[in-house]
Structure 1
Amino acid sequence: MSPIISLRNLGKTYASGFQALKDVDLDIRRGEIFALLGPNGAGKTTLISIVCGIVKASHGSVTADGHDIVTDYRAARAKIGLVPQELSTDAFESVWATVKFSRGLFGKPPDPDHLEKVLRDLSLWDKKDSKIMALSGGMKRRVLIAKALAHEPQILFLDEPTAGVDVELRHDMWQMVRRLRENGTTIILTTHYIEEAEEMADRIGVINKGELVLVEDKDVLMRKLGKKQLTLTLQDPLPRIPAELSALPLELVDDGHALVYTFDTQTEETGIAPLLRRLGEHGIDFKDLHSSESSLEDIFVSLVRSGREGVRA
């Protein structure tokens, strides 16, 4: 199946000389949830703004569902819904008028039933006649999502959609995202809440200083780069790690009362059993053990700090 969004050699340098994007190549698969992660200033919003036609690229090309965003702008943009990071909407309009106008902007015929469904899904139906200026910040965020969905886009960009919202709204939003994906909508999101990307995304992209550092299936990424730690609480404290075991990734902690063994997830089965056997051979007994594994946040921080390059999609 052809990708729904393709970026080729995409670059952006601002008049100040700042290079926000550096020759980015990326394909977004149809119907997936793709999470784009990166620190502040990494280029996430610039990339989204180019695809949505808000910012002009310095070089490269972008297609949305086969339509070039420059030469076939109207058709490309009609495929896309955008929920921006900043709260920006007409404060004096009602919720209903705002979403109705957004649908009309894309030349879509009136469809009150669709707009009602969108508002109900976002718990906005009872606020449809309220002026936007009277809504809370969380409700205004819901209105932005409703506006983005009003014209029934096949692609939805969510730029930090849960920034500054309460836990209840965050959960409501992710339930809505799941429903949209089930109905075939492609979701591209940026987020600072990495646990959300870990829970929701099919694939992860990491961008840093304008470069796409890595693109990978989330599960594959967790297996490739995830680390596990096995902590063994010892029966008797050790003054030091025996020389015969010094080549192993072992660390003595808690004043010699515990050993920490660090290993990657791909060698879990072959790593733990030999370790325990070798400890027994050296008379090292333990009374308790527990394991922990790295989260997506740990992997992300490691990638950004090291500037490591991974396999690109």
Structure 2
Amino acid sequence: MEYRVLGRTGLLVSRLGLGGIPIQRATQEVADEMLAACQDLGINFIDTARGYRDSEEKLGRALHSRRGSFHLASKSARRDAAGFREDLERGLQLLQTDYIDLYQLHMVSALDVWDQVQAPGGALSALLAARQEGLVRFVGVTSHNNDVLEIMIKSNLFDTAQFPLNVVESQFLGSLNLAQKLHMGTIAMKPLAGGALQRADLALRYLLPSTVDTIIPGMDTVEQLHSNCAAIELGVLTADEAEHLQEDAAALGEDFCRRCEYCLPCPVGIRIPTLFILEGYVNRYGLQEWARERYWGMPSQADACTECGLCEKRCPYNLGIRRKLKQTQSVFRRE
């Protein structure tokens, strides 16, 4: 495993880290097995969040006997100081640790949110206070908006920046370069474009020539850990592989679901990312019958949407989810 220094933090982190969103889908037994496998494979950077349901809890149980082997990152999307502090303290309990290596403002992707967290009584004051108290060693920010991220990087308030980076979202290369000029650590999330890029091996290797410090695909099986590590070991893409990946990216465009699940829960129980995945199996792979059977077996279909718009307010990519659900329903409409 290759290791890099995470900017001004001085932490030596594995080039491949563990993104903790999918851990909420894993059993505790699988989470335990994954952390043991991470230790064996040399993966020493783990990123989770208070908002990832029971991810912190499962990781805390799995980390309890091996805390010193990992650099642990978490984050809170609460915008006020009191709520942010509450999330941090709860996270410390669930992670079964008295400190977190890196704690981050989660998903600050709009200027009004940046203004909100900076304001008196905002989350930023709680984050900086936690560093002063030793509850967190370093502070960072995560964002899905390159323009907003550049403003936050220029503030020079943070030790790290976390942002999407993949063959579809290369606009964040500017933020990467700016952060590194200021000696900030850099963390690449969504390397597989939220799972939309089917060739995980090619998508990960695409990032190897970049200067980003660590790449954190979401993983929820030991098999994924091993296959992603094996991919990293293969090195940079060949010309033919790069061409194939670019073709996949062109087919996706930009109006696609990254499966981050921030849109959930839906008030009427629609599993939005899952429906979009099933639609992709029809459109990209021609698996009509296979996908149709699973679509109609879901608790709620796309036509259950009441158009409340809550999902669109939550989506960091500003997708027209209501419009896309109508498209999905048209694909699976009963004949």
Q: Same fold (TM over 0.5)?
A: no
- Higher helix proportion (structure 1 or 2): 2
TM-score normalised by the chain length of structure 1: 0.36
- Higher strand proportion (structure 1 or 2): 1
TM-score normalised by the chain length of structure 2: 0.34
Q: Greater RCO between the two (CA within 8 Å, min separation 6)?
A: 1
